[in-house]
Amino acid sequence: QSALTQPPSASGTPGQRVAISCSGSSSNIGSRTVNWYQQLPGSAPKVLIFSNNQRPSGVPDRFSGSKSGTSASLAISGLQSEDEAEYYCAAWDDSLDGWVFGGGTKLTVL
């Protein structure tokens, strides 16, 4: 069982906005920043969001992140077929002295 909890699946139609949640605790999300990763089938993960809501250069502004308390969320607006992938949240955990990942959310574009 992952330290961070994500819904196993999400879906939307092209052009829609979808949000993926990530729930943690006071020892990780509650006291640390969150990052998000996209993993396309057969590929290595790619960072989408740093520091709760910062996008690296090259990541479209359709992707946005937010955090409140011990939860975080990744929003994807203007959904596109190429957004179909697995999405993971991650944060440092002060109790475990290590990184924790969410279990992943498989996004399907209908």
Partner 1 sequence: EVQLVESGGGLVKPGGSLRLSCVGSEFTFSSYTMTWVRQAPGKGLEWVSSISSSSGYIYYADSVRGRFTISRDNAKNSLFLQMDSLRAEDTALYYCARRYIDGFDIWGQGTMVTVSS
Give residues in contact with partner 1 (CB under 8 A). Answer: 2, 32-33, 35, 37, 39, 44-47, 50-51, 54, 56, 86, 88, 90-92, 96-104
Indicate the length of the chain as a whole number.
Answer: 110
Residue among 96 and 110 whose Cβ is closer to partner 1:
96
Whole-number minimum distance, CB 101 to partner 1, in Å?
Answer: 5
Residues paired with residue 64 on neighbouring β-strands, in sequence order: 75
Residue among 78 and 99 whose Cβ is closer to partner 1:
99
Tell me how far apart the terminal alpha carbons of the chain are, to the nearest angstrom. Answer: 29
Residue among 84 and 92 whose Cβ is closer to partner 1:
92
Whole-number minimum distance, CB 23 to partner 1, in Å?
Answer: 15
